[in-house]
C-alpha cells in the first residue's frame, strides 16, 4: 500500500467513526405501539333502520341509493377479485361505504380509517379494491361521448333550452395555473369539428380561441354594444349548465378539495373516473330526483372558467369565425330574450 492510499484509508476510517453516532440505525428511539381503536358506529348504522340520515351526512347519498350501489359492485366483484373469505369481517358493503366516505371527504384515509375502526393501510386497500371494480366494469358504460345523432340532439336541445342555438356541448377546463397542461390539451381535442355533428358548435369562455365551431364571448368593456352584451349573457347562461355540473361533482366528492395522495397520474385519473361513475349513480339511483325539473339560473351565478394569461384572452381564428359569431349574435338579438 503506497502512502497516498494509506492516508485515504485513514481519513475514511476517521469520517466513518465521527458519523456513526448520527446514524439512526445505531441510535434507535424507543419502540412505539400503534393501536387501532375499534369503532362500532358503522355496524350500528347498518343494523338500525332509523339512522338513514347518517348515510346522507357521511356518504353523501341516501341508504336506498347506497344499497343499489352495493348491489351493482357486488355483482361485478367476482370478475375482478376473488370471493371474500366467509370469516372476513369487512364485506363488500363495508368496503363500498369506506370508499364513498373517502371520496366525499377531504380528510384523507385517516378520517375514513378512524370512522370504520380500521387501519389507514386497510382503508387504502379497500378503496383500491372498489376503485378497480368500478373502473374495469362500469366506466366505459357510464362515461362516454355521444355516438349517435339522437344522443347529440338530446344535448343540443338541453342547451338550447337556456337560449343558445345549435350548441352541442360546453368546454370547461379545470382551474389551474398550469393552463398549458389542461386547457390547451382540451382545446386540441374538443375544438375539432369532427367531435360533434357538422354545422354545430361548442361553447367556451374567453380563455379559448374563437373558431367557427367554438363560440366564445365578446370582449367585455364599458361601452360594449347592447347586442354583444345580450349575446354574452345568453352564452354564459347556456355554458353555465356544464359548469354547474362540474361544481356539483366537486362539491359532492370533496376529496378534490385537497391534494390527491396518489403518486402516479394513472391512479389520479382512475380516482376521477370512479368519482364520475359514483356521481352518475347518485343521480340515477336516487328516486327522489325522478321528478327533478331543471332550473333557470340567474346570470350572476356564472362560475368563471380557466385561469388564463391576459394575452390568451379573446383570441380569434379568423374572419370566418367572426362571421359565425356575428350571425349567432344577430339571431339571439332577434329571437331570444333574456
pLDDT given at position 195: 59
Among 101, 93, 102, 128, residue whose Cα is nearest residue 270: 128
Tell me the C-alpha distance between 214 and 316, whole Å.
Answer: 10
Residues 332-337: contacts with CB within 8 Å, 24+ apart? Answer: 332/163, 332/164, 332/165, 332/227, 332/230, 332/231, 332/234, 333/226, 333/227, 333/230, 333/231, 336/163, 336/165, 336/234
Burial class of 18 by CB neighbour count within 10 A (0 to 12, 13 to 18, 19+)? exposed
3-state secondary structure of 322: helix
- What local confidence, expressed as pLDDT, does residue 304 receive? 43
Per-residue pLDDT reduced to its tens digit, 253-262: 999 988 888 8
CA atoms within 13 A of residue 197's CA, in its CB half-sphere = 16
Whole-angstrom CA distances from 155 to 1, 98, 101, 303 are 84, 35, 32, 21
Radius of gyration (C-alpha) of the chain in whole angstroms: 28
Is 87 in a helix, a strand, or coil?
coil
- Single out the residue of 237, 225, 227, 228 nearest to residue 164, CA to CA: 237
Determine the pLDDT at residue 242: 86
pLDDT of residue 89: 85
List the Cα angle 276/282/284 in 5-degree steps: 100
Residue 290 grid coordinates: 325522478
pLDDT, residue 25, reads: 61
How far apart (Å, rounded) are the C-alpha atoms in residues 146 and 269?
21
How deeply is 172 buried, as exposed, middle or buried, from its count of CB atoms within 10 A (0-12, 13-18, 19+)?
Answer: buried
Main-chain phi, psi angles of 316, to 5 degrees: -130, 135
> Looking at residue 230, what is its pLDDT?
96
pLDDT of residue 180: 43
Bridge partners of 336, per DSSP, are: none
- pLDDT for residue 196: 62
pLDDT confidence of residue 129: 97
Backbone angles phi, psi at 28, to 5 degrees: -75, 145
Which stretches of the chain score pLDDT less than 70? 1-29, 33-38, 173-197, 287-317
> Are 104 and 255 spatial neighbours (Cβ–Cβ below 8 Å)?
yes
Element (H, E) at 169: strand 167-170
The confidence score (pLDDT) of residue 286 equals: 84
pLDDT attached to residue 8: 67
pTM exceeds 0.75, yes or no: no
Q: How far is CA 197 from the centre of its chain?
A: 27
Query: What pLDDT does 87 receive?
Result: 77
Looking at residue 303, its pLDDT comes to 38
| Residue-level pLDDT at 314 | 57
- The whole-number pLDDT of residue 335 equals 92
pLDDT at 207: 83
Amino acid at each position: 500500500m503506497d502512502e497516498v492510499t494509506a492516508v485515504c484509508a485513514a481519513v475514511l476510517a476517521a469520517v466513518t467513526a465521527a458519523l456513526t453516532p448520527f446514524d439512526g440505525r445505531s441510535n434507535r428511539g424507543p419502540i412505539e405501539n400503534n393501536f387501532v381503536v375499534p369503532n362500532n358506529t358503522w355496524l350500528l348504522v347498518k343494523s338500525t333502520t332509523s339512522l338513514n340520515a347518517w348515510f346522507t351526512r357521511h356518504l353523501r347519498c341516501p341508504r336506498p341509493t347506497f344499497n343499489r350501489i352495493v348491489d351493482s359492485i357486488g355483482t361485478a366483484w367476482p370478475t375482478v377479485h376473488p370471493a371474500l373469505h366467509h370469516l372476513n369481517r369487512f364485506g363488500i358493503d363495508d368496503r363500498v361505504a369506506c370508499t364513498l366516505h373517502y371520496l366525499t371527504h377531504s380528510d384523507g384515509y385517516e378520517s375514513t380509517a378512524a370512522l370504520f375502526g380500521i387501519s389507514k393501510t386497510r382503508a387504502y386497500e379497500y378503496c383500491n379494491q372498489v376503485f378497480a371494480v368500478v373502473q374495469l366494469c362500469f366506466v366505459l358504460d357510464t362515461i362516454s361521448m355521444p355516438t349517435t345523432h339522437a344522443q347529440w340532439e338530446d344535448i343540443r336541445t338541453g342547451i338550447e333550452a337556456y337560449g343558445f342555438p345549435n350548441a352541442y356541448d360546453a368546454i370547461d377546463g379545470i382551474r389551474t395555473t398550469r393552463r398549458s397542461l389542461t386547457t390547451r390539451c382540451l382545446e386540441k381535442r374538443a375544438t375539432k369539428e369532427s367531435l360533434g355533428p357538422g354545422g354545430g358548435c361548442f361553447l367556451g369562455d374567453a380563455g379559448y380561441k374563437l373558431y367557427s365551431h367554438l363560440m366564445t364571448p365578446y370582449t367585455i368593456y364599458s361601452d360594449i354594444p347592447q347586442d354583444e352584451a345580450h349575446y354574452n349573457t345568453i352564452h354564459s347562461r347556456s355554458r353555465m349548465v356544464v359548469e354547474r355540473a362540474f361544481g356539483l361533482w366537486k362539491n359532492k366528492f370533496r376529496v378534490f378539495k385537497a391534494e390527491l395522495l396518489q403518486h402516479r397520474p394513472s391512479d389520479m385519473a382512475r380516482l376521477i373516473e370512479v368519482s364520475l361513475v359514483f356521481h352518475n349513480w347518485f343521480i340515477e339511483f336516487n328516486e327522489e330526483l325522478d321528478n327533478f325539473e331543471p332550473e333557470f339560473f340567474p346570470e350572476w351565478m356564472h362560475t368563471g372558467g380557466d385561469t388564463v394569461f391576459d394575452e390568451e384572452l379573446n383570441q380569434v381564428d379568423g374572419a370566418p369565425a367572426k362571421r359565425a359569431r356575428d350571425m349567432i349574435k344577430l339571431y339571439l338579438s332577434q329571437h331570444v330574450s333574456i
